Amino acid sequence: MKSIIIKNGEVIDPESGVHDILDVFIQGGKISKVGKSIESRADVVLEAEGMMVSPGFIDLRAHLCDPGFTRREDIGSGSRSGAAGGFTTVVVRPDTNPVVDNSALVYYIMAKAKETACIRVLPSATVTQGMKGDMISPLGSLKSAGVVLLSNGIQPITDAEVMRRAMAFNRTFQLPFSLHCEEPSLSRGGLVKEGKTAVRLGVKGIPETAETVMMSRDILLAEANETKLHINHIGSKSAIDLIRAAKARGGNVTCNVTPYHFYLLDRDIQDFDPNLKFLPPLGSETDVKAIKEGLKDGAIDAIISDHSPWTPEEKDIEFDQASFGAIGLEVAFALSYSELVVNEILSIDELLRKFTVNPAKILGLDLGRLQEGAEADIVLIDPKVEWVVEPDKFESRASNTPLRGKTLKGRPSATIVKGQIVMREGKIQEGALPFK
């Protein structure tokens, strides 16, 4: 393994508060030294003047579609997409085919990652077997196999007693529950948020209570069962109010948001563009304002890609038939930087905290920091570059995004995983397989 020195970069480590022009020396897959004018010889020198140097990004939720849906994405292509976006660690959703509800499938994902991934790929598993919402998955063997989160994909667990028992059983294993909160009896048949946009389009709306009713239940059950609860893709002001109240009571509750939900509004949906169809649905100006305030004051802990790749046959069709979601790995940071930092809503330190140390803490992993002795997961960011989103040129197999043709500012220029350069100047490096 080659040693690397990063010279004269703007080193930002949100955990320690370091923000200075420094060098970073990497040896044996670890950060060996961080300081001024390091003289150590290295096999590779990365000149980083004008660049920001951050811990590698950690994504708490991405669909890499393997096993079963590899026509959309697979672990290899998804990992390359993550590396291009500055992610060094990605937690994959378990709603595959078959769903990840047993240790054999966990081992399959880990084996595929070792063979084909150029970043760290971590498995999650379903709370219930077959994602059916009745029988609880074997939590102990799943944790032993390497699962880091429990989820149920986008399939809600409607039976409160099943959720209560699952959380009670989990007291032994202490895996975080990472949940999509939706009450299907309220959301069923809905396409956009209930309100003026739904009326204008003439379609059934989804009331925000579809999110908050289920969220309230899960928060109360988590508090009663001492469960670490992480809520995915917050979509409304009411949901953020619930998170704030739970945190004020001392609950072990965290949440995330996608960049699309603080960049887009429901009124942006014109001509039934299927790329603007999301779950939870895009919100109002009030919702977006509340999300930005929640990011600023810490109510929202993390920003995720929520990478949801679809084939044209699944997305480029009639609005009511199209699947929900968009690809996100290669635009998540740039869109967040363009919307939040350039517009002075967050500082770069505050933004990077949402991509690095906070997700690491939610997972309970010793990642997300740029300090001596830490894993050498690092991303170099060019904050000045302006670039046009051309999804057909992405590493992802899919191209479903509402950002096509949009100009963003800021982009990862190099991604280092466990001391190996896996992406440089937008190109995945030959032999970039750190897990072999």
pLDDT at 436 over 80: no
The average pLDDT across 413-426 equals: 96
Count of beta carbons in the 10 Å neighbourhood of residue 249: 10
What share of the chain in percent tops pLDDT 70? Answer: 99
pLDDT at 435 over 80: no
The average pLDDT across 169-191 equals: 97
285 to each of 144, 242, 290, 374, 405, how far by Cα in Å? 44, 19, 8, 41, 23
Reply yes or no on whether 366 is catalytic: no
Determine contact, residues 157/127, Cβ cutoff 8 Å.
yes
Question: What does the pLDDT read at residue 294?
Answer: 98
The average pLDDT across 157-170 equals: 97
Question: What does the pLDDT read at residue 431?
Answer: 75
Task: Write the pLDDT tens digit of every residue in 273-305.
Answer: 999 999 999 999 999 999 999 999 999 999 999
Question: What does the pLDDT read at residue 40?
Answer: 86
What does the alpha-carbon distance between residue 343 and residue 359 come to, in Å, rounded to a whole number? 24
As given in the structure block, the two tokens for residue 138 are 């074997």
pLDDT at 24 over 80: yes
Question: What does the pLDDT read at residue 365?
Answer: 97
Instruction: Calculate the average pLDDT of the chain.
Output: 97
Question: What does the pLDDT read at residue 434?
Answer: 57
Give counts: helices (H), strands (E), the chain: 14, 19
The kind and range of the H/E element at 58 are strand 57-62
How many CA atoms lie less than 13 Å away from 304 in the CB half-sphere?
30
How many CA atoms lie less than 13 Å away from 419 in the CB half-sphere?
19
What are the chain's domains? Answer: 56-363 (3.20.20.140)
Using pLDDT thresholds of 50, 70 and 90, give the confidence band for residue 98.
very high
The average pLDDT across 72-85 equals: 98
What does the alpha-carbon distance between residue 272 and residue 218 come to, in Å, rounded to a whole number? 33
Question: What does the pLDDT read at residue 220?
Answer: 98
In the set 306, 316, 349, 377, the catalytic residue is 306
Tokens 């096999």 — which residue?
43
pLDDT at 197 over 90: yes
